[in-house]
């Protein structure tokens, strides 16, 4: 057994022994707390999905506030403006044009690195605040609702997923690459 197989087995045991049971338990608790009362009230499934989507949106807004996205943006803008101001002060103090270009280039590189770090951090924080709740709720709903939920799409379209219908949207197997739309046999080569 190689080192990679041992690591893979350890991660499998961790996932199937700890992480998956936690998510199954959390899904059952959410089902008992949210879906069962809505079923007892005879709320249709599309309305249940809208209620859960609203609750997920509120959770995303709460996570946004908890993570402090506005605070991080304010700190970034403050530090960015400070570095830019320091760069302008240095530029005014130097009279040599070549030295100004070097200072300008160094300052631009520093600002680029700061901005790239800001974008990466913002991407992760927004993903954590918005996408993580949405994707976990979608995964939970896929398991919580019965398999026949998509039967209307299956009955009329032959599939559970609407995105699979995009493959043949215009009912053509392929598009011509020539500008006139003529077949390749009729076009002359120059």
Domain boundaries, the chain: 44-168
Residue 156 predicted with pLDDT over 80: no
> Which residue has better confidence, 31 or 141?
31
Residue 47 pLDDT more than 80?
yes
Q: What is the mean pLDDT of the chain?
A: 78
In the structure encoding, which two tokens stand for residue 60, read together? 């995303």
Show the tokens assigned to 133.
């709740």
The answer to whether 69 and 122 are in contact (CB under 8 A) is yes
**b/e sequence 85-122, b meaning 16+ C-beta within 10 Å:** eebeeeeeeeeeeeeeeebeeebeeeeeeeeeebeeee
pLDDT > 60? residue 64: yes
Residue 107's pLDDT band (boundaries 50, 70, 90)?
confident
Give the pLDDT confidence score for residue 162 in this predicted structure.
47
Contact call for residues 69 and 125 (beta carbons, < 8 A): yes
Token duo for residue 150: 């998509």
Supply the pLDDT for residue 160.
Answer: 53
How high is the pLDDT of residue 159?
A: 55
Catalogue the long-range contacts made by 98-104 (C-beta closer than 8 Å, 24 or more residues apart). Answer: none
């Amino acid at each position: 057994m190689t080192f990679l197989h041992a690591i893979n087995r350890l991660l499998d045991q961790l996932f199937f022994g700890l992480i998956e049971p936690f998510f199954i338990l959390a899904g059952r608790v959410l089902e008992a707390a949210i879906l069962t009362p809505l079923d007892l009230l005879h709320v249709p499934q599309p309305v249940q999905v809208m209620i859960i989507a609203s609750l997920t949106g509120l959770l995303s807004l709460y996570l946004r506030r908890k993570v402090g996205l506005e605070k991080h943006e304010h700190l970034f803008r403050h530090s960015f403006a400070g570095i830019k101001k320091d760069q302008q002060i240095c530029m005014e103090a130097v009279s040599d044009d070549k030295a100004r270009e070097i200072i300008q280039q160094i300052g631009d590189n520093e600002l680029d690195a700061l901005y790239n770090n800001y974008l990466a951090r913002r991407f992760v924080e927004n993903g954590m605040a918005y996408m993580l709740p949405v994707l976990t709720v979608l995964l939970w709903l896929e398991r919580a609702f019965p398999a026949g939920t998509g039967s209307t799409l299956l009955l009329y379209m032959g599939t559970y997923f609407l995105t699979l219908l995009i493959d043949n949207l215009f009912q053509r197997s392929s598009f011509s690459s020539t500008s006139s739309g003529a077949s390749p046999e009729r076009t002359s080569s120059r």
